[in-house]
Amino acid sequence: MAEPRVVRHPLVDVRMTTLRDETTDRATFRAAVRELTAMVVYEAMRDAETRPVGIRTPVAGATGAELAAPPVLVPVLRAGLGMAEAAHAQVPGAVMGFVGVARDEETLRPTPYMASLPGSLAGIPVLVLDPMLATGGSMAHTIDLLVDRGADRVTAVCLVAAPEGVERLAQAHPTVEVVAAALDERLNEHGYIVPGLGDAGDRQFGAM
């Protein structure tokens, strides 16, 4: 089976418990999404290239680092919107694009409703932000749009991933790495991640 990169850290486990707990209120849930996003983006950027930059400290000249290629961030609406600001705080120089896709809860197929993306993404690292990777349909659709624009360095940044979604993505987009805060057991008969956290969009923004 394809393996995602799962962030192993006690603070991730604690925040993930907050997300999973059905008694967590909406504001606390959104805060945990932001905090976990910062941690997962930090891990997703581990191998980012930097280049040296000359600076002065108050004491002496020094060589610092700047990102050689700031990534484009692409939150997947609606639930990925809760990750956008926290990811942007980690990489303030990033350009942000947006993809809107809602899963049809009968067929479990993605229903796209908007895309606002840079025209060319060739050679540019792209981080796709979506808390849930379930069947993988929404993420695969989003990455199709990115590949249409030439993207060849895509990372899927998720909070909870299901093995089914990881596998589907590996088939559809073998070069895409999945970085997640948790890899759960499976999908249930309704396509929900088990044990998961329920509906990530509704828990942040309310049921539509």
**Contact residues for ligand URA, defined by CB under 6 A:** 79, 132, 134, 192-193, 196, 199-201
Was 92 annotated as part of a binding site? no
In the complex, the smallest distance separating the C-beta of residue 79 from ligand URA, rounded to whole angstroms, is: 6
149 and 126 Cβ atoms separated by less than 8 Å: no
Which residues within the stretch 53-92 sit at the binding site for ligand PRP (CB under 6 A)? 76, 78-79
Nearer to ligand PRP, 90 or 138 (CB): 138
Q: Is 131 annotated as a binding residue?
A: yes
How far apart CA 139 and CA 144 sit, in angstroms, is 9
The pair of structure tokens assigned to 184 is 């759960």
Beta bridge partners of 52: 65
Asked whether position 4 contacts ligand PRP by CB under 6 A, the answer is no
Q: Tell me how many degrees the CA angle 180-42-115 measures, rounded to the nearest 5.
A: 65
Query: 49: how many CB neighbours lie within 10 A of its CB?
Result: 9
Retrieve residue 94's tokens.
């990033």
36, amino acid identity: L
For ligand PRP, the closer CB: 74 or 151: 74
Q: Is 47 annotated as a binding residue?
A: no
- Answer yes or no whether residue 136 interacts with ligand PRP by CB under 6 A: yes
Comparing CB distances to ligand URA, the nearer of 79 and 84 is 79
**152: annotated binding-site residue?**
no
* 198 known ligand binder: yes
At 155, give phi and psi (nearest 5°): -120, 135
Tell me which residue of 66, 79, 72, 1 sits closest to 41, measured CA to CA.
Answer: 72
Q: What does 159 bind: ligand URA, ligand PRP, none (CB cut-off 5 to 8 Å by kind)? A: none
**Under the rule (CB under 6 A), what is the footprint of ligand PRP?**
76, 78-79, 102-103, 108, 110, 130-139, 165, 191, 199-201
